[in-house]
Structure 1
Amino acid sequence: MSRLEAKKPSLCKSEPLTSEKVRATLCVLKGILTSSYGPSGRLKQVHSGLGGCVCTTSQSSALLSNLPVTHPILKILTTSTKNHVSCFSDCGLFTAILCCNLIENVQRTGLTPTTVIKLNQHLLRLCTHYLKSESCGCRIPVDFSSPQTLLCLVRSVVTSKPACMLTREETDHISALVLKAFLLTIPENTKDRLILGKSIIVPLKGHRVLDSTVLPGILIEVSEVQLMKILPIKKSDAFKVALFCSSLSGDLSDTGEGTVVVSSGVCLENAVLEQLLNLGRQLVSDHVDLVMCQKVIHPSLKQFLSMHRVIAIDRVGVALMEPLSKVTGTQPIGS
C-alpha cells in the first residue's frame, strides 16, 4: 500500500512550555481527562479519522492508547502515564491530570526550570513521607477476618465504571469476586518481603455476568486443537510433572557453544531425534503425566508422548516457569 504523503525525517525542536500552542494542547488533554475522572466522570467515544472501531471508555489506559497524540509534550505525558499504569495498574487519570496541573502551574509562576525541578522533588519527598506515616488520612485500617471494609472499597470502584452497566446484584457479585481474587494473591507464609500473586481476567462473550467465577491456579494458553486432545482428563489423583526450561525442538542452535563431532555416515538430525525419543521413552517409563516446556517440543516427540497418553504443552514462556516450579514442586530441567 503506497503512502499518502512522503515520509518526513524526524525533527528535534526546542519549544518553551510557555508557548500558546503548548497551553492549548494541554488544555484540551486536561479537559478530556478531567471530565472522565471520578464517579461522575463521563464516557468518551474515540474514533480515528482514518477509520476503524469506535472506542467507548473512561479508562485511562484505553483512552490514552486510542487518542491520536502528535505533540511531543503530550507524547511524553501520555507515555509516562501508560508506563505508570503498567507498573501500578491504577490511578492513570489522576497521574495524567496531576502532570497537566504541574505544567500549568509552572507556566503561571514564571520560575526557572531548575527551580521548578528542585521544588517538585522537595514536594515529592514531603508527599512520600506523609503517605508512609501512620497519620496519613489515605490509610484505611482493615480487619481481614471481617472484610466488609474491603468489600465496600471494591464496590465503590466497580460502581464508578458506567460503561459496565451492571445491576446491583451483578455489582455485588463482581465485587465479591474481585475481593476473593485479591485475597488469593496473598501468600499464606511470608518471609522477608511480601510478594503478591497475579490475577488475570479472561473475558468471555455470550455469558452472564453472574456466571463469572474465580479459579485459583496458573493460566496456560494452548490452542483449541491441543485443548481438545487434552480434555477430558480422567485421572483423579496427583499428576507427575516434568518441566523443561531448555528447547526440545532438536535444533542444534539451542544446544549452546561448543564443538560437535559427527562420525562419518551419521545423520545429525536423525541422531538428535533419536535422543529426543529416548527422552520420551524415559518419561513414559517414569509414568510422567504432564510434560511442559518453556520453548518448543519437536512434533515427533509430541506425537510419541500423545500416543502414550502423556500431555505435552510447549511454548509456556519464561514468565510462567517460576510459578509452575513452585506450584508443581518440580525443578526445571535445563539440559
Structure 2
Amino acid sequence: MQSNLKGKTRLDSKAESPINCLTLENDCILKALILMEQITSSSRGPGGKIKIVQNSLGGHLTLTSTSTRLLNAMSFTNPMVKLITSSAQGHLKKFNDAGHLMMSVSLNLILQSLKLGTSRRILTDLYEIFLGMCADYIQCKTSSPIKIDVMFSDLKQMSSIVKSILISKPLCQFAVRNLKLCSDLLLETFLMSLPNCETVTRVSDSVNVVALQGQPIEKSNVLQGLLLQCPEIVSHSNQILNVNTVENEDSTFHCLVALVTASMSGDSEEVGSMQYESDISVDTDYCILGILEDFCDKLTAANVGLLLCQRVVHPRLKYRLQQQSIVVVERLGVTMTPYIQDVSGAVPIRSFHNLDTEVLGKVASVEHQIFLGKSYMLLSPLQDKCVVSLVLYSQEEEQLSELKMLCSTCLLSLRQLVQSPHALLGAGCWQTHLAAMLNRKVKANQVDIIRRTGCTVKCLTQACKVFTNTLQKIAAMGTGHDRQDHMSDLEHGHLWRLPKGSRPDPDAVLRCSCGAVKQRISKLFYLSETPDIVEQKKLDQTGHSKLHTADTDVILDLSAPCVAALTSGVLTANTVLSIGQFIQDIN
C-alpha cells in the first residue's frame, strides 16, 4: 500500500478542510430520497416486492420485505436518508411494525413539498396542524368511523388482527390453510404466555421463538416451558437426564436452578481491570480455578440440579458437577438470560465467593428433546410461571428469518393490545377516510388556520393537497400493485380497488379493501378525479353497525403503531424540511 502522505512531515501545517454545502434541492440528495421512497413504498402490503440485499463484496444474501430486516441489512451514507431511516429504526425498536408506513409518510411529504414554491416554515406549521387534526380524529373518545375497540373475548376479531399482519409479507407465502394454522398458533402462544395473576413480575416477553430449518411451516408448534439448545447431549435418542431434585410438601418434586452470568472458564483475564499482586511462584489461574471449585461444592451442598451459565464453563468444573448429578448448560448468551429468570425465578449470580440460596430458581422438570437431529432441553415451569417456546419451521433459510420476525411482530402487537385495545380498518381504508376527513375539516376551519399561521388561502390549499395526496398514495400502494384503479365513495370514505381499465356492472356490489363495507359500483368515484369529496357531510355520520358486522374477515391495523408511525413520519419530514444546508467536511 502506498501512503498518500509521501513528501510530508509532521511539521507541515495541516491543510484546510474542503467543505461542501448541500441543500435539499441537490441532485444527489433528491435522487437518494426518490430511490428510498420507491424502495419502501414498493415493499408494503401483501403484493409488495421482495428485496434482495447484498454488500459490494458479495456477502450474505438477505431476502425480505419487512422494514426491520431491510434497514438492518442496508447501510446509508446520504445524510437525509440516514436521518429518516434512523427515525424509522427508533419507531421499530418500540413497535416492530409500521416502519414502511412511517418512512412513506416522511419521504412523500418531503418530495412533494420541495415542488411547491411555499415557505417551508409555513409548510411545517401547517403539517403539524394537519397531524393534530388526524390524531384527534383517530383518538376521539366518543367514536371514530375508522376505529374499533378490540375485544379479547372475540376470537374472530383477534384472528383478523393476526392474519392482517401475516399476509402483509409475501416472502412467507402463506396458503389459506397455513395462514389459519399460523394465526391460531400465535393466538394460542399469546394466551399461554399471559400471567395467571397480577402479582407476577416478568423480565422477558415470556415467548422464546426457536426457528428450525428443514420442515414445512405447518409443523410449527408451541411448548409450555423454555427450550434451550444443548449440543453436548447426544441426539441419536432421547436421554433420561440424571438431575438432582428436591421434594415439595405435596410429595411432588422440583429442580433448583443456578443462573451464572459471569465466566467460569477459570482464566485470570476474566478478573477484569482489577489490580492485584501475587508472588511469582503463585499460579493465579490455579487459584481462580480453586475459587470456582469451592463454588461448585456450594452448589452441590445446596442440592442444585441445573447450572445455566451465560458464558463458558471450564471442562474440569463441568466434569466435577456432572459427577454430582448437576446438569451444566453453557454459552447461553445474553438474550436467553431474561427467559431463564422468568421460567425459574432465578437471580443472576455474578460473584463466586458466596452462594445465597434465595438467588436459586425452581423448575418443575428438566427433559431432553430432539428437534431435527439437534438436542434441546425443555425447562417446565411451576404453575405460577408463564413462559412458552414457539417452535417455527420452514424449509428455506430466508423465509424462516422472515417468519420469525413476522411472528415476533404479531406477538408484540398482541401484547400492545392489552394496553391500547384499538384497531383501525386497514388495507388503505383508514388512510383514504382520513384524507377525506382532513379535506373537510381544513375547509371548515380555513379562517382560523390562516390566522394562526399567517399563510395565504393558496398556500393552505397546496399544503392540504400535499398531505392528503400522501395519505391517498400510501393507501393506494398498500398492496404493491400499480395496475389497479383506486376508488372511494361519499358515504364512508373507504377504498375500493378494481383492475385497471375494467368496466364492471354499475349495479354490482363490492366490498371495500378492508372488507367492512359493501357499496354499489355506481356510487364509487376515482380518487384522482374527485378531489371535492370534502364537501360531503355524511362522512362523520357513518353507522358503526354497518362497518363492523361484515360476514367475512376484516383487515385490521393496530391503532397504536399506525398513529405513532404517522406522527413520527410527519415530524421527521418537518425536521428535514427545516434544514437549510448540510455541511460536509471532506477530509
Task: Place the TM-score, normalised by the shorter chain, in its bin.
Answer: 0.7 to 0.9
Partner of 1:217 in structure 2?
225
265 and 63 in structure 1: CA distance in 2 versus 1, 3 angstrom threshold:
closer
124 and 11 in structure 1: CA distance in 2 versus 1, 3 angstrom threshold:
farther
* Whole-angstrom distance in 2 between the partners of 1:19 and 1:263: 68
Matches within 5 A, 1:141-180: 141-180=149-188
13 and 203 in structure 1: CA distance in 2 versus 1, 3 angstrom threshold:
farther
TM-score by length of 1: 0.78
Partner of 2:425 in structure 1?
none
Matching of residue 87 in structure 1 with residue 103 in structure 2: no
Partner of 2:210 in structure 1?
202
1:149: how far off?
A: 0.5
Matching of residue 38 in structure 1 with residue 54 in structure 2: no
1:204: how far off?
A: 2.1
Instruction: Report the more deviating stretch, 127-136 or 83-92.
Output: 127-136
* Whole-angstrom distance in 2 between the partners of 1:315 and 1:111: 59
Deviations 1:256-287 (A, max 9, x none): 78775757965433233223222222322332
Could you tell me whether the CA contact under 8 Å between 2:312 and 2:330 is conserved in 1? yes
Deviations 1:290-318 (A, max 9, x none): 01233433332122112333112234344
Tell me which amino acid in the other structure corresponds to 1:249.
Answer: S
229 and 308 in structure 1: CA distance in 2 versus 1, 3 angstrom threshold:
farther
Tell me which amino acid in the other structure corresponds to 2:49.
Answer: R
Aligned mate of 2:343, from 312, 327, 333: 327
1:103: how far off?
A: 1.0
SS in 2 for 1:215: strand
Deviations 1:175-194 (A, max 9, x none): 11122223344333346999
SS in 2 for 1:240: strand
Partner of 1:306 in structure 2?
322
Tell me which amino acid in the other structure corresponds to 2:321.
Answer: L
Matching of residue 101 in structure 1 with residue 97 in structure 2: no
1:289: how far off?
A: 1.0
Matching of residue 188 in structure 1 with residue 204 in structure 2: no
- Between 1 and 2, higher relative CO (CA 8 Å, sep ≥ 6) is seen in 2
* Whole-angstrom distance in 2 between the partners of 1:50 and 1:245: 37
193 and 12 in structure 1: CA distance in 2 versus 1, 3 angstrom threshold:
farther
Deviations 1:149-175 (A, max 9, x none): 011221233233332223221111111
* Whole-angstrom distance in 2 between the partners of 1:280 and 1:192: 31
Partner of 1:6 in structure 2?
none
Partner of 2:298 in structure 1?
282
Could you tell me whether the CA contact under 8 Å between 2:206 and 2:339 is conserved in 1? no
TM-score by length of 2: 0.48
Instruction: Report the more deviating stretch, 254-263 or 78-87.
Output: 254-263
Could you tell me whether the CA contact under 8 Å between 1:185 and 1:196 is conserved in 2? no
Calculate the aligned-residue CA RMSD, in Å. 4.0
Instruction: Report the more deviating stretch, 12-21 or 185-194.
Output: 185-194
Instruction: Report the more deviating stretch, 109-118 or 97-106.
Output: 109-118
Structure 1 or 2: more helix by fraction: 1
Could you tell me whether the CA contact under 8 Å between 2:266 and 2:314 is conserved in 1? yes
Could you tell me whether the CA contact under 8 Å between 2:208 and 2:339 is conserved in 1? no
Tell me which amino acid in the other structure corresponds to 2:166.
Answer: V
Partner of 2:495 in structure 1?
none
* Whole-angstrom distance in 1 between the partners of 2:311 and 2:210: 24
Could you tell me whether the CA contact under 8 Å between 1:187 and 1:195 is conserved in 2? no
Tell me which amino acid in the other structure corresponds to 1:232.
Answer: Q
Matches within 5 A, 1:3-18: 13-18=20-25
SS in 2 for 1:180: helix
Deviations 1:61-105 (A, max 9, x none): 344445575433223323332343233211121111111112123
- What residue ranges of structure 2 are gaps of 5+ in the alignment? 3-16, 246-252, 352-587
SS in 1 for 2:328: strand
* Whole-angstrom distance in 1 between the partners of 2:207 and 2:127: 35
124 and 298 in structure 1: CA distance in 2 versus 1, 3 angstrom threshold:
farther
* Whole-angstrom distance in 1 between the partners of 2:33 and 2:280: 72
SS in 2 for 1:238: strand
Bigger CA radius of gyration: 2
Instruction: Report the more deviating stretch, 190-199 or 280-289.
Output: 190-199
SS in 1 for 2:259: strand
94 and 264 in structure 1: CA distance in 2 versus 1, 3 angstrom threshold:
closer
SS in 1 for 2:222: coil
Tell me which amino acid in the other structure corresponds to 1:276.
Answer: L
* Whole-angstrom distance in 1 between the partners of 2:132 and 2:196: 33
* Whole-angstrom distance in 2 between the partners of 1:199 and 1:12: 51
Could you tell me whether the CA contact under 8 Å between 2:204 and 2:342 is conserved in 1? no
1:57: how far off?
A: 3.4
* Whole-angstrom distance in 1 between the partners of 2:84 and 2:117: 21
Could you tell me whether the CA contact under 8 Å between 2:44 and 2:168 is conserved in 1? no
1:138: how far off?
A: 5.5
Partner of 1:76 in structure 2?
83
Tell me which amino acid in the other structure corresponds to 2:183.
Answer: S
SS in 2 for 1:145: coil
* Whole-angstrom distance in 2 between the partners of 1:63 and 1:271: 49
Could you tell me whether the CA contact under 8 Å between 1:250 and 1:272 is conserved in 2? yes
266 and 60 in structure 1: CA distance in 2 versus 1, 3 angstrom threshold:
closer
Deviations 1:100-150 (A, max 9, x none): 112123313445555555555555555555554433556432332331101
Structure 1 or 2: more strand by fraction: 2
* Whole-angstrom distance in 2 between the partners of 1:291 and 1:194: 21
Tell me which amino acid in the other structure corresponds to 2:81.
Answer: L
* Whole-angstrom distance in 1 between the partners of 2:61 and 2:273: 51
SS in 2 for 1:292: strand
